Amino acid sequence: MPPELLLRTSDLDGRLDALLTGSFAWYQLLMTGSHLGAASALVEQVLRDDRVPESERVRLLAEAEGAMSAAEGVARRIDADGPDESTLAASLYVRYCVQDTLARVVPRAVELLGHLDSQAADEVSHLVTCADGLASQPLAQSGMTSTLAAYLADGTLTIT
């Protein structure tokens, strides 16, 4: 294949070019938003259920809204300044934070909605399936830990 038809993922030193940096940053945010959207739909069901204590409803809402605000903040930053290594790193931090949030919010919402009829339970099951799996998306946290630690130490973000 002619070299001009190849899409290079990085320079020889492993640094991403501007196109791929932006693509990875937006991908992280889009995947994060998709999974978080499904979890937010579960939280909305909890909010509408008067049998759930107010403290539980507010707690779940605060976690979901905090996660969404963080993702929106990075998206605004990319729109305003353009994507760079720092916004890609920020999109990864937010994604990993949201993963942890979903690991708490989704099971708790399901538990609080446990008294539903079968049709509503099917919808909850579908939303749980849609909210699951963010951790298995590319640039998983376990594989990026040393890369992000190196970025924090020397300011260079590489993806290999």
Tens digit of pLDDT for each residue in 111-142? 999 877 778 889 999 999 999 999 999 999 99
Percent of the chain with pLDDT over 90: 75
Distance from C-alpha of 52 to C-alpha of 112, rounded to nearest angstrom = 7
Distance from C-alpha of 131 to C-alpha of 115, rounded to nearest angstrom = 20
Q: What is the pTM of this model?
A: 0.87
Q: Could you say which DSSP state residue 116 is in?
A: -
Tokens of 159: 């993806």
The residue type of 6 is: L
